[in-house]
Amino acid sequence: MNSIYLYQDDLLSLLNLIHYLVINKVTPDNIKPLDYAPTLLDEVINLKIEVNNDLIKQIINNYSIRIFNIIYYVFLSENENKELIIYYFYLNLLKYKTNIIYMRNLRCVSKALKISKYVSSEAHRLKGFVRFKKLKQEIYYAEIAPENNVIFLLAKHFKNRLKNEYWIIKDVKRGLISIYDKKDFYLTTESNFKMHDFKTSEDDADIKDMWKEFYNIIAIEQRTNERCRMNFMPKKYWKYIIEMSDNNEKNY
C-alpha cells in the first residue's frame, strides 16, 4: 500500500505536515490535498496535527526569504509531485541549511530550483502580458489563464503599479479572482464573486484600436521573425493579449 498523507489545500498546512513527518522520521509515498481521489493501492492518512502559524516566519528567519520563496513557488506550480519535491527539499534543508541552494547535485534541489524558476518567470512574463480593459464603472478588468497559480504574485505587482485605480484580475483556468479597492487586494473564488455588467467604457474601443495600430506599425517588415516572436511570447498566452487575439480572431 502507498501511504498518502493529506493536507488542507494551503501552504501553511502543507509545511506543518511536512515538518511533522520529517521530525518523526516518516517517509510518505506521497502527499496530496484533501480532495485527492485515492486508488485501490492507496492508504489515505489524515493526521490531526497542531498547526504552527509561525512556521513560515521561522523558515524565513532561520534560513532566508529566498529559500522560502523557492518552496512557495514550487507550491504555486502545477507539478503533480510538488508536495513530495517540497518534502525532500525540506528534509535536506534541515541538513544543509542555507547551503541547500548550492546543492544542485541533489535531485530534489535541482528540481525545486527549476520549478520555482519556471513559476517566477511566468509571473514576470505576465506582468507584461496582462491586458486590462476599462469597464463603465471605472474598473480595470483583465483575464489570464497561466500555467501556474501566479495570480497572487501579479496582484502584489499591480497593487503598487495601479494603486489609485480599481482593478480585477481573473484566472479563468482556476476560477480565482483578485480584487483591488485602492487600499489592498483580496483573493476570492469565482463562486463568491457576483458581477453582471462587463460593458466597457466609451473610450475603451478607441484606445484598443490605437494600441493595435501601434503594435502593427512598430514592427520592421524587413526584419520579420515569427519564430523569435513565438519564443518570447508563446501562443498559449495569445488568447488574452488583445493585439494578438484580435489579429487572429479566426483561431479562436
Partner 1 sequence: MEIKEKLRILADSAKYDASCSSSGSKRKGDLGNASFSGICHSFSADGRCISLLKILLTNCCIYDCKYCLNRKSNNIKRAIFTPEEICYITINFYKRNYIEGLFLSSGIIKNPDYTMNLIIKTITLLRNKYHFGGYIHAKAIPGCSEYLVKKLGLLVDRLSANIELPTENGIKLLAPHKDFKNTEKIMGYVKENKSHKFVPAGQSTQMIIGATKESDLDILSKSEAMYNKFKLKRVFYSAYIPVNKDNLLPTLEKPPLVREHRLYQADWLLRYYGFKTEDLLNSKQANFNLLIDPKAAWALNHLQEFPKEINSCSYYDLLKIPGIGVTSAKRIMSSRKHFKITFKDLKNMGIVLKRAKYFITCNGKYFIDTTFFNKNFIEANLVLEDKPNNAVERKQLSFFHE
Total residues in contact with partner 1, by rule CB under 8 A: 57
Per rule CB under 8 A, is residue 173 in the interface with partner 1?
A: no
Binding segment toward partner 1, per CB under 8 A, in 17-25, 79-87, 106-114, 145-153: 106-114
Q: Least distance from C-beta 52 to partner 1, angstroms?
A: 30
Give ∠ CA 150-153-169 in degrees, rounded to 5: 70
Q: Decide if 56 contacts 11 (C-beta within 8 A).
A: yes
List Cβ<8 Å contacts ≥24 apart for 153-160: 153/76, 153/120, 153/123, 154/123, 154/126, 154/127, 154/130, 154/178, 155/180, 155/185, 155/187, 156/185, 157/127, 158/130, 158/185, 159/184, 159/185
Choice from 20, 64, 165, 245 touching partner 1 (CB under 8 A): 165
Per rule CB under 8 A, is residue 182 in the interface with partner 1?
A: no
Choice from 162, 166, 172, 174 touching partner 1 (CB under 8 A): 162
Per rule CB under 8 A, is residue 228 in the interface with partner 1?
A: yes
Give ∠ CA 238-174-194 in degrees, rounded to 5: 100
Choice from 22, 60, 172, 241 touching partner 1 (CB under 8 A): 241
Residue 186 or 214: the one with the smaller Cβ distance to partner 1 is 214
Q: Least distance from C-beta 26 to partner 1, angstroms?
A: 27
Per rule CB under 8 A, is residue 217 in the interface with partner 1?
A: yes
Separation in Å, CA 220 to CA 48, 80, 223, 246 = 62, 43, 5, 20
Residue 36 or 208: the one with the smaller Cβ distance to partner 1 is 208
Which residues in this chain contact partner 1 in the complex, by CB under 8 A? 99, 102-105, 107, 110, 113-114, 124-125, 127-134, 140, 142, 158, 160-165, 203, 206-211, 213-229, 231-233, 241, 243
